[in-house]
């Protein structure tokens, strides 16, 4: 799989290749221009030499001018012919060279583009797979959350039922406690009444006994 750094390296290599394609065909042209420059300088030297001769020999001025004109014409013709010839050769050579290099460059471009497209398809596939996994995980979490909510609801209802049962039991216990308290109060009342009757009965029984005892004691003392 091609990473972003690999794609960047490919782009850098293609840029360097384009630079070489542009620079290499111009090297022969630059060399020929240097040669033409030297030829032109030679013509300039010849002109200076001719001017010096004209100053020194005024009698042969016309002849020297004719010779110089012919020499300049021949030099110009030779230079122009050389330029045309060299330019044609350079253009022909560079055209073929550029065409070959362009073919190589196009193939390199096609290969790089193919690799980039392949990488893009791979990345797209990875993104789709990752997105699907995220969707599956999200669905799984939603299902789990729904299940937990259902369990919490059941637990809540169970706790609510338990609380209701406990509240009912407490209410019944309070009611029973009130009933027991009421019965206990009734029993206490009955016990109080019974004790009161017993005390009264005991007093009733005790009075005759006291009278009898007093009478007996009185009779005994009388004798």
Whole-number average pLDDT of the chain: 69
DSSP assigned state of 3: -
Q: What's the confidence (pLDDT) of residue 189?
A: 77
Residue 35 has pLDDT above 60, yes or no: yes
Domain extent for 70: 4-154
161 lies in a domain? no
Q: Dump strand ranges (E) for the chain.
A: none
Tally of CA atoms within 13 A in the half-sphere of 82 that contains its CB:
16
Count of domains observed in the chain: 1
8 lies in a domain? yes
Average pLDDT over every residue of 12-32:
57
Average pLDDT over every residue of 77-99:
67
171 lies in a domain? no
Instruction: Dump pLDDT digits (tens) for 134-187.
Output: 888 888 888 888 888 888 778 777 777 777 888 888 888 888 788 878 777 787
Would you place residue 3 in the very low, low, confident or very high pLDDT band (cuts 50, 70, 90)? very low
Contact 31, 93 (CB under 8 A): no
189 lies in a domain? no
90 lies in a domain? yes
Our CA angle for 218, 221, 223, nearest 5°, is 115
**How many other C-beta atoms are found inside a 10 Å radius of the C-beta of residue 35?**
13
Residues 6+ apart with CB under 8 A from 115: 2, 7, 10
204 lies in a domain? no
Contact 100, 25 (CB under 8 A): no
The secondary structure of 7-47 as a DSSP string is HHHHHHHHHHHHHHHHHTTHHHHHHHHHHHHHHHHHHHHHH
Would you place residue 10 in the very low, low, confident or very high pLDDT band (cuts 50, 70, 90)? low
Q: What's the confidence (pLDDT) of residue 5?
A: 57
Query: Which of 67, 74, 79 has the alpha carbon at shortest distance from 32?
Result: 79
Q: What's the confidence (pLDDT) of residue 109?
A: 67
The pTM assigned to this predicted structure is 0.30
Tally of CA atoms within 13 A in the half-sphere of 19 that contains its CB:
6
207 lies in a domain? no
Q: What's the confidence (pLDDT) of residue 2?
A: 42
180 lies in a domain? no
């Amino acid at each position: 799989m091609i990473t972003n750094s690999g794609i960047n390296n490919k782009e850098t290599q293609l840029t360097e290749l384009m630079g070489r394609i542009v620079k290499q065909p111009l090297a022969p042209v630059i060399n020929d221009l240097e040669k033409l420059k030297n030829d032109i300088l030679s013509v300039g030297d010849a002109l200076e030499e001719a001017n010096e001769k004209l100053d020194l020999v005024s009698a042969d001025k016309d002849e020297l001018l004719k010779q110089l004109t012919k020499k300049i014409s021949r030099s110009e013709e030779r230079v122009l012919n050389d330029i045309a010839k060299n330019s044609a050769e350079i253009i022909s050579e560079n055209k073929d060279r550029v065409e070959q290099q362009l073919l190589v460059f196009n193939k390199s471009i096609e290969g790089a583009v193919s690799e980039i497209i392949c990488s893009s398809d791979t990345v797209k596939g990875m993104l789709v797979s990752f997105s699907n996994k995220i969707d599956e995980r999200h669905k799984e979490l939603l299902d789990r959350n729904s299940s937990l909510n259902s369990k919490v609801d059941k637990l809540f209802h169970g706790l609510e039922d338990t609380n209701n049962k406990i509240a009912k039991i407490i209410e019944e216990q309070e009611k029973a406690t009130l009933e027991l308290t009421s019965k206990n109060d009734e029993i206490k009342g009955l016990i109080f009444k019974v004790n009161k009757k017993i005390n009264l009965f005991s007093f009733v029984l005790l009075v005759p006994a006291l009278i009898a005892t007093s009478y007996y004691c009185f009779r005994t003392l009388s004798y």
